[in-house]
């Protein structure tokens, strides 16, 4: 019985090996050997055919959904289908390529199937995608190049093809995708290609892709950061390029001038500029210089709430809870005024938790625990356990789960709060289902 998709190539190899076997010796012993080889060959072929049938059924069911799902309006169902088909794409990449070639009138389906091949992350999938490039359909070329860029197993031939494409294509969209892909795949030519486009590209959108590609390469961080800074000198710079520059700054964590420019960007009125600056500060914020500009943003009522919350989370990572406490203060004061009200305590605790302030969250979950009815106390033990797990205090997290009535933790095997705890050898077995476990 085949246990996994990886068994299919193995069985194919067995079939080839068996086919190459000699006819065996003469006499009764040779006849017995031939019978054994034939039996093994027949069983291997039967298993492969069985798996091909399973694959075809799954593919047919998946295609019926993917055909009706716009690529720019994805659904959970389509995402699950792509994930389910991805392992097959490593085994039967040519089947997916064939469908893509025959689906010229269904660009959304093509995009979904390119995603499937990309998720498989196999060299065979990357090679298959590379063969689709040059079809004359710029959209298909672009999504195939984007997909290859995420497949680190791409062969040298595929990488060379991307470099050649970046040098010859006349499509700005395909060129932008090729610049990013060559950078992600660490092609030696990637940085030079990106710099060339920064100098001679007319379209700001293509320059923006070149900025992103150059930042990914980290070829010459000091010089490249200086080059990128000059591309967005003022508000007259096209927005797409300003945003690309701010996001690229997140790759230069040791550059104080870059960090200062990100801080300055928090003081504007454009929410997209602020969002891009926060995107980079999440990576490069400094304990010494970033807390004050972030806190000013948290306290600015005219800034969108989600951006103020994002700034508060960065502050928590830098070691200060001032931003989170400022945002939760109205809920905190209400909860402090009615400590016997478990719901108010939980509301404040949930707000702290969402801002990653797990210490303050656990304080108010404990207050909710004290005020809760006996039937609801287990919920607050679980909430406190999540706080401890997020803070990597796994012994206390386990203690709270046990107080909630759990001797094993398989009920939380996909709870993101316990992800790091599940990765620890000491605790991992408790999260695995055992015979007789219930959920």
What is the b/e burial string over 16-47, where b = at least 16 CB atoms within 10 angstroms of the residue's CB?
A: eebeeeeeeeeeeeeeeeeeebeeebeebeeb
Is residue 372 over pLDDT 70?
yes
Residue 24 dihedral angles phi and psi, to the nearest 5°:
80, 175
**Tokens 């996001």 correspond to what residue?**
247
Q: Is 123 exposed, middle or buried (0-12, 13-18, 19+ CB in 10 A)?
A: middle
Percent of the chain residues past pLDDT 70, beyond the cut:
91
Residue-wise pLDDT tens digits, 299-349: 999 999 999 999 999 999 999 999 999 999 999 999 999 999 999 999 999
Mean pLDDT of the region 207-212: 98
Is residue 145 over pLDDT 90?
yes
Mean pLDDT of the region 16-24: 52
- The number of angstroms, rounded, from the C-alpha of 198 to the middle of its chain's C-alpha atoms is 28
pTM score, two decimals? Answer: 0.83
Rounded-to-10 torsion of CA 422, 428, 431, 433: 140
Mean pLDDT of the region 59-73: 91
Mean pLDDT of the region 68-73: 89
Q: What architecture is the 75-219 domain classified under in CATH?
A: Alpha Horseshoe (1.25)
Please tell me the predicted confidence (pLDDT) of residue 205. 97
pLDDT class of 151 with cuts at 50, 70, 90: very high
Closest of 185, 190, 116, 179 to residue 157, by C-alpha? 185
For 320, which DSSP code? -
Is residue 4 over pLDDT 50?
no
Please tell me the predicted confidence (pLDDT) of residue 49. 79
Residue-wise pLDDT tens digits, 271-309: 999 999 999 999 999 999 999 999 999 999 999 999 999
* 315: Cβ contacts below 8 Å, ≥ 6 apart: 291, 294, 295, 298, 321, 322, 323, 324
**Tokens 């969108």 correspond to what residue?**
304
The neighbour count for residue 323, using CB atoms within 10 Å, is 26
Q: Which residue has the higher pLDDT, 10 or 354?
A: 354
Residue-wise pLDDT tens digits, 74-128: 899 999 999 999 999 988 899 999 999 999 899 999 999 999 999 999 999 999 9
Please tell me the predicted confidence (pLDDT) of residue 25. 55
Please tell me the predicted confidence (pLDDT) of residue 27. 58
Please tell me the predicted confidence (pLDDT) of residue 150. 97
Q: What architecture is the 329-431 domain classified under in CATH?
A: Alpha Horseshoe (1.25)
- Alpha-carbon separation of residue 213 from 280, 310, 381 (angstroms): 15, 26, 47
Q: Which range is least confidently modeled, 29-33, 327-331, 397-401? A: 29-33
């Amino acid at each position: 019985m085949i246990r996994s998709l990886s068994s299919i190539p193995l069985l194919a190899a067995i079939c080839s090996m068996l086919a190459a076997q000699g006819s065996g010796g003469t006499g009764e012993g040779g006849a017995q050997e031939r019978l054994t080889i034939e039996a093994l060959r027949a069983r291997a072929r039967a298993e492969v055919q069985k798996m091909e049938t399973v694959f075809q059924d799954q593919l047919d069911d998946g295609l019926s959904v993917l055909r009706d799902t716009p690529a720019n309006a994805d659904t959970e169902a389509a995402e699950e289908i792509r994930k389910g088909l991805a392992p097959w794409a490593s085994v039967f990449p040519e089947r997916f390529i064939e469908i893509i070639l025959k689906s010229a009138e269904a660009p959304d389906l093509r995009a979904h199937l390119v995603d499937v091949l990309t998720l498989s992350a196999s060299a065979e999938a990357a090679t298959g995608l590379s063969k689709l490039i040059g079809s004359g359909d710029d959209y298909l070329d672009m999504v195939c190049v984007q997909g290859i860029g995420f497949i680190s197993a791409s062969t040298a031939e595929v990488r060379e093809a991307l470099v050649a494409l970046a040098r010859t294509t006349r499509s700005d969209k395909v060129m932008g995708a090729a610049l990013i892909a060559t950078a992600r795949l660490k092609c030696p030519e990637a940085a030079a290609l990106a710099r060339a486009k920064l100098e001679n590209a007319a379209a700001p959108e293509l320059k923006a892709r070149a900025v992103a590609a150059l930042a990914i390469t980290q070829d010459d961080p000091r010089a490249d950061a200086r080059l990128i800074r000059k591309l967005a000198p003022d508000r007259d710079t096209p927005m797409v390029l300003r945003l690309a520059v701010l996001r690229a700054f997140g790759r230069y964590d040791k550059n104080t001038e870059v960090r200062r420019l990100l801080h300055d960007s928090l003081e504007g009125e454009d929410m997209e500029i602020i969002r891009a600056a926060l995107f980079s500060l999440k990576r490069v914020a400094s304990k010494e210089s970033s807390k004050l500009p972030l806190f000013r943003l948290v306290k600015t009522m005219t800034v969108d709430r989600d951006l103020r919350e994002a700034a508060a989370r960065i502050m928590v990572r830098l070691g200060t809870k001032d931003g989170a406490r400022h945002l939760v203060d109205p809920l905190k004061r209400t909860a402090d005024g009615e400590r016997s009200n478990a719901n108010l305590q939980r509301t404040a605790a949930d707000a702290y938790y969402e801002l990653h302030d797990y210490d303050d969250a656990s304080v108010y979950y404990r207050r909710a625990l004290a005020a809760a009815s006996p039937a609801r106390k287990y919920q607050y033990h679980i909430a406190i356990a999540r706080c401890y797990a997020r803070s990597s205090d796994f012994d206390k997290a386990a203690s709270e789960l046990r107080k909630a009535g759990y001797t094993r933790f398989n009920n939380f095997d996909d709870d993101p709060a316990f992800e790091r705890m599940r990765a620890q050898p000491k605790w991992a077995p408790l999260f695995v289902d055992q015979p007789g476990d219930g959920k």
